[in-house]
Structure formats: C-alpha cells, structure tokens
Structure 1
Amino acid sequence: MTTPLHLPADALCALIGPPGSGKTTFARQHFNPTQVLSSDFCRALVADDENDQSATSDAFEVLYSIADKRLRRGLLTVIDATNLRGDRDRTWFLNRARHWQRPTAAVLFDAPLATVQAQNAGRGRVVPPHVVAQFHALLPTIDQMRDEGWDTVHLASTLTGAP
C-alpha cells in the first residue's frame, strides 16, 4: 500500500540512502527544483564537477548555508545527499531545524542492496559497487531515526510515486 507524501511547508526533509537508491529521482518527482539542495549540485558549483570528492567539504559549506537561509525563511528544504552518517550528516540539519523551530522529516530509501546496485550501474555517474555496499550498510532504521529526534520518518518504498 502506498501513501502520498505530505510535508509542512516550512519543514526540513532529509532524503537518506546510498548512492543509486533513487533519492534524486524521488526529489524530482515530489518537489520543486528550488526546494531541493543536492550535495552533487553543490559539488559542481564549487568544483565544476559533481564527481570531485575533494570538493565535498566546500560543497557542504554551500549546502549548509543555503539550508540555513531557507529554514530561517520558513521554506520547505529538502536535502538530497546520502545523509547516512548521523553524527556528521544528520545532526547539523536537526540542530538548525530546531534552532528555527521547523518540523523535520526523513525519507529512508530502503531498497535491497541488489536493487540499489542495479540502479547505480544504470545511471550516468556510477559509484563503485563496494562503496554502494558500504553506504547501504549504514542505512538507519525508523526507530534509530526517531531516537535521533526526527518528527516523521517515511520509507520511500511506501510512498506514492516512489522509484
């Protein structure tokens, strides 16, 4: 059974999953382009190459700055990144959303590893399979996400229009 995704207009929403799990496709299907902050796009902004992993730190500085400004304005802010390391990736977003008193939501991309590997192999920017497997192993559970403090947690596989 699938359900539509409904988010408050001022929410922070983190898309969480390994490379190739469908986060960017999902974001394109469910949100306006201006609402989505992509780590890949920010990497391209600072290095002219979304694949340049050496630009990741600078890319996240840009992403964090834009996210903070959108949250301050009360605008829906969707983070399209792996967001798999809670202590590094998700904590900042939770803290800033709390600072601006904004609701938080997470969408977990819970596809089986074989599905993610196949999707990754079929896209333009292929991440090495061993890296995808490492990231897939970091996928948190719904209970872990709730324990972190996320207001709502969704499984992408249960949402209408999920990839």
Structure 2
Amino acid sequence: MNRLTFKTGTMCTLIGPPGCGKSTFAAQWPESWRVSLDFYRKLAADTETDQSATPVAVQIQDLLLDARLARGLTTIVDSTNLRAPVRSGLLARSARWERPAVAVLFDVPLATVEAQNAGRDRVVPAHIVREFHHQLPTAEQLHDEGWPTVHLASTLTSPTP
C-alpha cells in the first residue's frame, strides 16, 4: 500500500460516484484544503441536494480554487468530477497557475458504492448512483486526458499532508 503525499500547491481532484468515499477521504486533510460542490450547494440553498444551486456552487468552487492555486496552496477538489469537460477545466486551472495536478480515481465496485450510499445521511437515488458509476473513467483514460498522476483509491492508505 502507498501513502499519498502532495507537493505544496498540488491540486488533487477526486473522481468517483456519490457514495464511493470521496468526502470521507478528503476529510483526512485540513478542512481549508477542500473545495466541495456539495458544501457550496448547501450554502446557496440550505441543502446539498438542490441541483438547481449547482451553477452558483461551481462559481464558488472556481473562485476558491483559483484563489488557492494562485497562492500555491494544496487543494482537494471533492466532487464527482465524472464528466471529461469538468476534468479538462480543472486541468486547465492547474496549468494556468502552474501547479501540479493529481487525480484520485475511486475504483470502488458498484455493490460497495450502493451499500455505502444506502448507509449515508443523504442517500442519492440508486439509479443516479448506478448512472454515475457507469461514467467512471479508467486510469488510462485519465492519463490520455492529460492527468500526469493518477492514483487508485483502492491502493492508498491514510494520506499525509
């Protein structure tokens, strides 16, 4: 097993469906390192589930991501990041600020994701979890998109800052 460490200023992007463990994984680092669409939706609409608040949540995430990367601060992007255009935009941001980009791919079996989702306080409908799980890219696809470093969550132990 590998321990995940970051160079100062790294943008670490978590990639996986709801319920795969991204937020639990992200919580192992300082709260100030994390940008989270769920959290920004909650700030904008009093609930993480209001998808109509996503556009403003994305604006908040982008603003904070740019602020952190401009300052050379390590940042964890905690959202599904399952769409290639979203990942491309994140890569462009890290390149703009000349910061290292790392992807953590949550290669969690669907049955495990479904079980974890069912046990959460905020359960995502099962059909959405399945749809998102089917969108999961492979490590090879991420490398082809330009991600220089891709870690599989299944191979990682507790991270270190």
Which one-letter code corresponds to 2:135 in the other structure?
A: L
Matches within 5 A, 1:6-155: 6-29=5-28, 31-87=29-85, 89-155=86-152
Which one-letter code corresponds to 2:100 in the other structure?
A: P
**The residue matched to 1:105 in structure 2 has which SS?**
strand
- Deviation string 1:52-103 (CA, Å, 9 cap, x unpaired) is 111011101100110011001110011000000011x211110011011111
Displacement of 1:161 after TM fit?
3.1
- Deviation string 1:92-121 (CA, Å, 9 cap, x unpaired) is 110011011111000000110000000000
Displacement of 1:21 after TM fit?
0.1
Q: TM-score, normalised by structure 1?
A: 0.95
Instruction: State percent identity of aligned pairs.
Output: 55
**The residue matched to 1:135 in structure 2 has which SS?**
helix
- Deviation string 1:112-160 (CA, Å, 9 cap, x unpaired) is 0000000000000000011000000011111111111112100001001
Runs ≥4 residues deviating over 3 A: none
**The residue matched to 1:70 in structure 2 has which SS?**
helix
Which one-letter code corresponds to 1:125 in the other structure?
A: R
Counterparts of 1:71 and 1:114 in 2: how far apart (Å)? 36
Displacement of 1:48 after TM fit?
1.6
**The residue matched to 1:59 in structure 2 has which SS?**
helix
Q: CA RMSD in A?
A: 1.0
**The residue matched to 1:106 in structure 2 has which SS?**
strand
Counterparts of 1:109 and 1:128 in 2: how far apart (Å)? 19
Q: TM-score, normalised by structure 2?
A: 0.96
**The residue matched to 1:90 in structure 2 has which SS?**
helix
Counterparts of 1:161 and 1:123 in 2: how far apart (Å)? 21
Displacement of 1:9 after TM fit?
1.1
Structure 2 unaligned spans of 5+: none
**The residue matched to 1:65 in structure 2 has which SS?**
helix
